[in-house]
Amino acid sequence: AAPGPVTPGPPFEPAQPPVIEGFSPSIYRTQESFKEKFIRKTRENPMVPIGCLGTAAALTYGLYCFHRGQSRRSQLMMRTRIAAQGFTVAAILLGLAASAMRSRS
């Protein structure tokens, strides 16, 4: 038996995310604001913002020392910035690993 004519569904709306049956793009039912998301992410992994602030502080102070002509201190601050960036990346990776372990159990 041949199938009947197919009636087209509603037109695709590019401004809306695609609807996939059984899939929810967010575990949260309400849309959270930037501030709420920032606070939630900071509570989940507080080391990332600390690392970001440390990186920004070392960069700022290093540039200030460079401007004042204190080349030794400026070099030290640039090395400190690299260490702070490494700390931040490690915090992100450890947070991802901890999140993956939580979702497994």
* In the chain, domain spans: 47-103
Residues sharing a CB contact under 8 Å with residue 71, sequence separation 6 or more, in sequence order: 65
Residue ranges for the chain with pLDDT beneath 70 = 1-12, 24-29
The 10s digit of each residue's pLDDT in 48-62 is 999 999 999 999 999
What is the value of pTM for the model shown?
A: 0.65
Distance between CA atoms of residues 45 and 1, nearest Å: 59
CB–CB of 78/62 below 8 Å?
A: yes
d(CA 44, CA 87): 17
